[in-house]
Structure 1
Amino acid sequence: MRVRRVITTRDGGASTAPYSSFNLGDHVGDAPDAVAANRKRLAESLPNAPHGPVWMEQIHGRNAEIVDGPRTEPVEATDALVTAEPGLVLVALVADCVPVLLADPDAGVVSAVHAGRVGSRIGVVPSALAAMRRAGASTERVEALLGPSVCGECYEVPAAMRQDVEEHLPGTACRTRNGKPGLDLRAGLWRQLAEAGVSRIGVDPRCTVESPELFSHRRESTTGRFGAAIWLEATG
């Protein structure tokens, strides 16, 4: 089954500064009408996707929810969505966290994951993989895309925090461009996926802090959210 993936940017929407302009987050202080217009535009622009998008009430946790149809409201208190329903678009919203898009094309199962520092530390990606298996996927067939996020060279944290995250998610500890303690969440998630048996892992190398076409909370504090979407293409 054909899998489609989209990473949005901040351009081409209805929102005004500091959310200009294609902000998809409805929890950051933007005008509700502007967010609704942006979400409507996204829904209308996705090919062969009549049933989405499905949004999450992201809480930096590790809950993974299997959905089998459209939702009128965001799925409560979850940071990973899984579906086997063709045409149902799953979206993770980010502005420095790692969006993780997972798919088993043979089984027809996909997942969108919001993996920030806390969620990555407590295992949101393994939770998503477990939910995918419950929906019929095989980890060995899963394809993963780690989307744009803050890079290790820009993500400075206290030394104690770096040590704590490294203990829970090995491979994340690094040093920033200025030689300070840092975290590279994508490096840790890549290692975690590989050790789980995922062999096809892609990385969008863009750093949100360094890429003006993307929203970044660390760069701008008050800002919007871009989306990482995945779906099984509906046919017929």
Structure 2
Amino acid sequence: MRVRRVVTTRAGGASRPPYDTFNLGDHVGDDAGDVYANRKRLATELGLAEDRLAWMEQVHGRTATVVDGSEASAAEATDALVTAEPGLALVVLVADCVPLLLADAEAGVVAAVHAGRVGARVGVVPAAIEAMRSVGAEPARTEALLGPAICGDCYEVPADMAADVEKHVPGSACKTRKGTPGLDLRAGLWRQLADLGVGKIGVDPRCTNEDKTLFSFRRDGTTGRIAGITWLDAS
């Protein structure tokens, strides 16, 4: 079974400034009709029906939810979606946090994880791996993609915050390009995934704060959300 992965940009949608244009977040103040049009276009471009996109109410927690496509609405209060259902596309929305896409193609299991600073700190990634195990995946067969996120050069935080995250996700603390305390969440999550036994780990190096084709909350404040999407293509 083939695993598909897509990461959107901010171009090609209906939303108006400051959400211009392909905002997929329905919780950021954008016009609901514009968001609906963008989500409809996303499904069309992926070659999927609108009801084959699985969304989640992201809350910066560590809950991982297994879905099968029968759900009537977005999964409530969760930051990771897991499925073994072919053709069901899992969507994670970000604007600086790390979108993590996981797949065990042999088992036919995929996951989409919202791994921001808080979620990473409280263990959303181990929770997602365990949820994948519950439906037949194995870490050694799993491939991971750490998608576009704010980079360590840009992500300045207080020193005590950097130290706290480092304690929970070793490898995250860094210095920004200004020499101040910072966080490189993708570096810490890469190490965490390796420690969990994940067999193959890739990183999209784009920084949301630096790349104007992506949304960034740190850069713009009121802004839209890009998406990381993964699904199993049985065709």
After TM superposition, the score normalised by the length of structure 2 is: 0.98
Which position in structure 1 is the counterpart of 2:88? 88
Q: Take 1:4 and 1:70, find their aligned partners in 2: how far apart are those partners?
A: 21
Q: Take 1:48 and 1:88, find their aligned partners in 2: how far apart are those partners?
A: 8
Which position in structure 1 is the counterpart of 2:202? 202
Q: Is the 8 A contact 2:57 2:77 kept in 1?
A: yes
Written as runs of structure 1 = structure 2, the 5 A alignment for 1:34-45 is 34-45=34-45
Q: Is the 8 A contact 2:139 2:199 kept in 1?
A: no
Look up the equivalent residue of 1:36 and give its one-letter code: Y
Q: Take 1:221 and 1:70, find their aligned partners in 2: how far apart are those partners?
A: 35
Return 5+ residue gaps in structure 1 as ranges. Answer: none
2:54 corresponds to 1:54: yes
Distance 1:19 1:33, change over 3 A: same
Look up the equivalent residue of 1:230 and give its one-letter code: T
Q: Is the 8 A contact 1:50 1:87 kept in 2?
A: no
1:72 deviates by: 3.3
1:70 deviates by: 4.3
The 4+ residue runs of structure 1 with deviation greater than 3 A are 47-51
Q: Take 2:116 and 2:185, find their aligned partners in 1: how far apart are those partners?
A: 8
Comparing 18-27 and 51-60, the one that deviates more: 51-60
Q: Take 1:12 and 1:70, find their aligned partners in 2: how far apart are those partners?
A: 30
1:50 deviates by: 7.5
Which position in structure 1 is the counterpart of 2:233? 233
Secondary structure, counterpart of 1:14 in structure 2:
coil
Written as runs of structure 1 = structure 2, the 5 A alignment for 1:213-228 is 213-228=213-228
Q: Is the 8 A contact 2:152 2:175 kept in 1?
A: yes
Distance 1:19 1:70, change over 3 A: farther
1:48 deviates by: 5.9
Q: Is the 8 A contact 2:171 2:188 kept in 1?
A: yes
Corresponding pairs, count: 235
Q: Take 2:148 and 2:42, find their aligned partners in 1: how far apart are those partners?
A: 19
Return 5+ residue gaps in structure 2 as ranges. Answer: none
Q: Take 1:107 and 1:50, find their aligned partners in 2: how far apart are those partners?
A: 25
After TM superposition, the score normalised by the length of structure 1 is: 0.98
Secondary structure, counterpart of 2:53 in structure 1:
coil
Which position in structure 1 is the counterpart of 2:97? 97
Q: Take 2:52 and 2:224, find their aligned partners in 1: how far apart are those partners?
A: 21
Q: Take 1:185 and 1:49, find their aligned partners in 2: how far apart are those partners?
A: 33
1:44 deviates by: 1.1
Q: Is the 8 A contact 1:86 1:232 kept in 2?
A: yes
Which position in structure 1 is the counterpart of 2:179? 179
Comparing 62-71 and 75-84, the one that deviates more: 62-71
Q: Is the 8 A contact 1:49 1:89 kept in 2?
A: no
Look up the equivalent residue of 1:124 and give its one-letter code: V
1:69 deviates by: 1.3
Which position in structure 2 is the counterpart of 1:132? 132
Give percent identity, aligned residues only.
67
Q: Is the 8 A contact 2:68 2:83 kept in 1?
A: yes
2:21 corresponds to 1:26: no
Q: Is the 8 A contact 2:80 2:124 kept in 1?
A: yes
1:219 deviates by: 0.3
Q: Take 1:192 and 1:208, find their aligned partners in 2: how far apart are those partners?
A: 22
Look up the equivalent residue of 2:35 and give its one-letter code: V
2:171 corresponds to 1:168: no
Q: Take 2:210 and 2:183, find their aligned partners in 1: how far apart are those partners?
A: 16
1:51 deviates by: 5.1
Distance 1:49 1:105, change over 3 A: farther
2:20 corresponds to 1:17: no
Q: Take 1:148 and 1:121, find their aligned partners in 2: how far apart are those partners?
A: 19
